Amino acid sequence: METIKLLIIGSGPAGYTAGIYAGRAGLNPVILEGLQPGGQLTITTEVENFPGYPEGVDANEMMDDIRKQAERFGADIRSNIVTKADLDQRPYRFTLDDGSEVAAHSVIIATGASAKFLGLSDEEKYRGVGVSACATCDGFFYRKKVVAVVGGGDTACEEASYLSGLAEKVYLIVRKPFLRASKAMQDRVFENPKIEVLFETNTEGLYGEGGVEGAHLVHRRGEADERRYDLPIDGFFLAIGHKPNSDLFAKWLKLDENGYIMTEGATPRTGVEGVFAAGDVADPLYRQAITAAAAGCKAAIEAQRYIQENGF
């Protein structure tokens, strides 16, 4: 079995940045890219809010730049997926999708969080060309346009409020006859003249040539007064939550009620010695590329200190 100093699981901004710092520290880190090299950011078209790109940059191009930087400093980037973890014994052991095993003295978990989608085939068809799961990331592209947000909780209300500062009109599509959001968030939505709430409404599909031009909606589905209609929109935002990719480590790490890895204070430490968490898998609040990259930096510095102190 191969034994290494540091294993980084995940390849988004957190994983690659951790690889840059760990590589420069001489740790010869191994990064496992997983199913989505570059992380969730690669489903976005253009990134305009990451420092260093004044004119904006294609998301895949940006992640490839960060990947190359990690490789430059000695990160060994592999396309494997972890299928089994064992944090009971040290060095920690992992089984990969090709059947091989690797042991690591220190681990950075940067597996991210996956946005929840409705399950419509059209969501995949228009992903990046009208469908988004991040208003903060993509809202700028819908200035003076008409958009819809799906969801009825705090996140959906917050996304709708944010988008109302950019878009001409925001529809909030809610399948229930009420909002689940806090009273303060509900008040903010109801008092905003640019937001219209569509209660008891479900999305059954999207349409458009080359991008989203509208949504197929149904009001009070299955009821006697059911009504189906098309709503012209330019953008469709999902705000029904994220699922952190933490299941593999649930036996050993503390998770919050939604599955996010809980770290100690402002550090990336998980409570298991030598195991750190960075990026969206441990961040239910911000979920931005820049905050994930910062967390990857902190995790790598912590890992370097741990490895040095223990003489690995």
Spot the catalytic one: 122, 134, 157, 280.
Answer: 134
Closest CA to 280 of 240, 246, 238: 246
Distances (CA, A) of 78 to 15, 38, 103, 244, 306: 12, 12, 15, 22, 24
Q: How many angstroms separate the Cα of 238 from the Cα of each of 114, 147, 152, 247?
A: 12, 11, 11, 23
Give me the catalytic one of 137, 280, 283, 297.
137
Q: Let me know if 294 is exposed, middle or buried by CB neighbors in 10 A (0-12, 13-18, 19+).
A: middle
**Predicted TM-score (pTM) of this structure:** 0.77
Tokens of 24: 């420069």
Are the beta carbons of 244 and 258 closer than 8 angstroms? Answer: yes
89-148 residue pLDDT tens = 999 999 999 999 999 999 999 999 988 889 998 998 998 899 998 888 889 999 999 999
Active-site position among 76, 97, 98, 138: 138
Which is nearest to 263 in space by CA: 275, 251, 248, 245?
275
Structure tokens at 92: 């920690």
Q: What is the pLDDT along the chain (312 residues), one digit of tens a residue?
A: 899 999 999 999 999 999 999 999 999 999 999 877 888 777 666 788 899 999 989 888 999 999 999 999 999 999 999 999 999 999 999 999 999 999 999 999 999 998 888 999 899 899 889 999 888 888 999 999 999 999 998 889 989 999 999 999 999 999 999 999 889 889 999 999 999 999 999 999 999 999 999 999 999 999 999 999 999 999 999 998 889 999 999 999 999 999 999 999 999 999 999 999 999 999 998 888 999 999 999 999 999 999 999 999
SS3 284: coil
Euclidean distance between CA atoms 176 and 187, whole angstroms:
17
Contact yes or no for 284/256 (Cβ under 8 A) = yes
pLDDT of residue 43: 67
Instruction: Identify the DSSP state of 260.
Output: P
Say what the pLDDT of residue 189 is. 96
Taking residue 311's Cβ as centre, other Cβ atoms within 10 Å add up to: 6
What residue has token string 């946005």?
Answer: 115
Catalytic-residue membership of 297: no
Determine whether 134 is an active site residue. Answer: yes
